[in-house]
Amino acid sequence: MHIRDKYEDTRLAITEIFNGNHRCYGYRRIHAALRRHDTRISEKVVRKLMSQEQLVAHRSRRRRYNSYCGEVGPVPENLLARDFQASEPNQKWLTDITEFQLRAGKVYLSPMIDCFDGKVVSWAIGTRPDGQLVNAMLDAAITTLITGDRPIIHSDRGAHYRWPGWLQRIKSAGLVRSMSRKGCTPDNAACEGFFGRLKNEMYYRRNWANASVEQFMRELDAYIRWYNEQRIKLSLGALSPIEYRRHMGIPT
């Protein structure tokens, strides 16, 4: 006699959620996603079912891109002092550059992260980690501000954050600069955390050997849009950054 598995439908739902979200959700976010679809089971059961279905979120160490090129003019204070909490959008923004190595060449990502909810406010993707990349990202970020917004822009000591083009844009928009101490990665830990999640979820788990630079850039752009619009954050009540802002009545 065949005994039906009472979790048969749940297994299928878990697998669909896992595969539909870059195969990066652990049992807690799978549990939260199931609750959004009115499936009520315990986290313990979700963890057990994921183990049985061999649904394992990949974790890997990453190689950090270092943009420090020596001192170029005076350095602003570290105004954040590792306090990455913000009570509303556009109070504290974080930025940095990360590198992706492909067989076809290198790709660089320059994002602006809002400490309020982790939303990627703007981003630029290119093949050179230069002033043009960071300036394009900053220009796009500035267009999202409304009258009265003067976020702190926190970065490392990369030379492109002290070149004239960057400084002029900051000054014209009335923004406030903040910089990490030399060689002190924890001073920008929240941005580093975003890079770590991105690479674990999108970059390390796939074989990019046959990907062109253009294809990878399209995939990276799509991931960031998914990150903003759909990726569950437990700290936001199992909502994505954009869903959270809509829930709070904040324009997106």
Tell me the pLDDT tens digit for each residue of 129-151.
999 999 999 999 999 999 899 99
- pLDDT bracket for residue 1 (50, 70, 90): very low
Whether residue 191 is predicted with pLDDT greater than 80 in this model: the reply is yes
Amino acid, res. 4: R
Looking at per-residue pLDDT, the higher value among 39 and 127 belongs to 127
Lowest-confidence region among 66-70, 75-79, 84-88, 234-238: 66-70
Region 33-62: what's the mean pLDDT?
77
Which two tokens mark 70?
Answer: 């020596």
- State the first-to-last Cα distance of the chain, in angstroms, to the nearest integer: 55
- pLDDT bracket for residue 71 (50, 70, 90): very low
The reported pLDDT for the residue numbered 3 is 57
Whether residue 205 is predicted with pLDDT greater than 60 in this model: the reply is yes
Contacts of residue 236, Cβ cutoff 8 Å, sequence gap at least 6: 117, 118, 243, 244
Q: What is the pairing mode between strands 92-95 and 152-155?
A: parallel
Whether residue 247 is predicted with pLDDT greater than 80 in this model: the reply is yes
Whether residue 61 is predicted with pLDDT greater than 60 in this model: the reply is no
Whether residue 72 is predicted with pLDDT greater than 60 in this model: the reply is no
Q: What percent of the chain has pLDDT over 70?
A: 92
Taken in order 200, 201, 207, 210, is the CA torsion positive or negative?
negative
The reported pLDDT for the residue numbered 59 is 60
Apex CA 227: angle with CA 166 and CA 43, to 5°?
A: 140
The reported pLDDT for the residue numbered 66 is 56
Looking at per-residue pLDDT, the higher value among 25 and 93 belongs to 93
Distance CA 116, CA 136 (A): 22
Query: DSSP letter at 127?
Result: S
